[in-house]
Amino acid sequence: MSIEITGARIWLRLPYGIVITETQVNMWLVMLVIAIVCKWLTHNLQVKPTGRRQVIAEYLVKLTTNLVKDKMGEGFKNFAPFIAALFSFALLCSLSSLLGMYPPTADLSTTLGWAIVTFVLILYYKIRTEGFLGYLKGLGDPIPILAPFNILGEFSTPISMAIRLFGNISAGLVISTLVYAVLSWLSSIALQWLPDVLAGIPLLQIGLPAILSIYFDLFSSFLQSFIFCMLTMLYISQAARKEI
C-alpha cells in the first residue's frame, strides 16, 4: 500500500527555468469555464428580460453589488466586479477538487498571488488617504520604537490571508488522502479471509469519504473563498477610512 501526497506536478519545462505546473493548467481551465459561463449568461441581453438566463445574470450582479455596497460603502461600488471575479475564481478553483483535479488553491503560489493583489490595493488606498508621509508617520505609531512591529504587522496581513485559504484547502486534500488510505487498509484486512476476487472490493471506501468530501470540498471551500473576499473588502475599506 502506498500513499502519495504531492504538490502540483510539473508538466512542462520551458527554457529560463519557467515551468508549467498542474496548478497553472487547472487555473486556465477554471478561467475558461468562468469566461464561457459569463459569455453565455450575458449574450443577447434585452431591456426587458425574456429568458431565465438574463434574470440569473441580473440577480448575480445585484447580489455582489449589494454585498460590496453593504460592506465597503457607497464609494466602493466599482469594486463589485473585482470581488465577484475573486470569489468565483477562488470558489471554482477549490471546487475543482470534486472532479479529482488538483485544486489550484492548494498551491501557496496561487493564494499568495491573490493576497499580494489585495496587499497592493490596501497600500494604495492607505497612501491615497493619508499621503505618503502620513503613511510613513503612521508606521511609527504610537512611539517610533514600535516601527519594526508595525511593519511586520503590515506584511502579516497578506501572509495570513494566503495561508488561511491555502491551509484549509491543502489540509482537506491531505486529510482526505490519509483517510482514504486508512479505509482501504481496513477493508483489505476485513476482507482478507475471502477469495482474491471478492477481497478486492473497496467495502469501506464506499460512502465514507463522501462525507469528508462534503465538509472539506463543498463547505470549506465555499466558506474560505467567501472569507477571503470579505477580508479583502474589509481591509480595503478600512485602509481608505480616514482615522480621526
Partner 1 sequence: MERALVLMACAIGAGISMLGGIGPGIGEGYAVGKACEAIGRQPESKGDVTTTMLMGCAVAETTGLYSLIISLLLIFVAPGLFIGRL
Nearest residue (CB) to partner 1, 99 versus 234: 234
> Would you mind telling me the total number of residues written for the chain in this entry?
244
Q: Which of 84, 102, 90 is nearest to 8 (CA)?
A: 102
Taking every pair of C-alpha atoms in the chain, what is the biggest distance, in angstroms?
Answer: 78
For cell 460592506, what's the residue?
A: 71
Q: Name which of 121 and 227 has its Cβ closer to partner 1.
A: 227
Least distance in Å: CB of 239 to partner 1? 17
Residue 108 vs 117, nearer CB to partner 1: 108
Q: Are 158 and 119 in contact (CB under 8 A)?
A: yes
The nearest distance, CB 224 to partner 1, in angstroms, is 7
Contact 104, 93 (CB under 8 A): yes
- Pull the grid cell for residue 175: 486529510
Binding site for partner 1 (CB under 8 A): 5, 160, 163-164, 167-168, 170-171, 174, 223-224, 227, 230-231
User: Could you give the CA distance from residue 131 to residue 140 in angstroms, rounded to a whole number?
Assistant: 15
C-beta of 106 vs 204, nearer to partner 1: 106
Shortest distance, position 157 Cβ to partner 1, whole Å: 11
Least Å distance, CB 227 to partner 1, is: 4
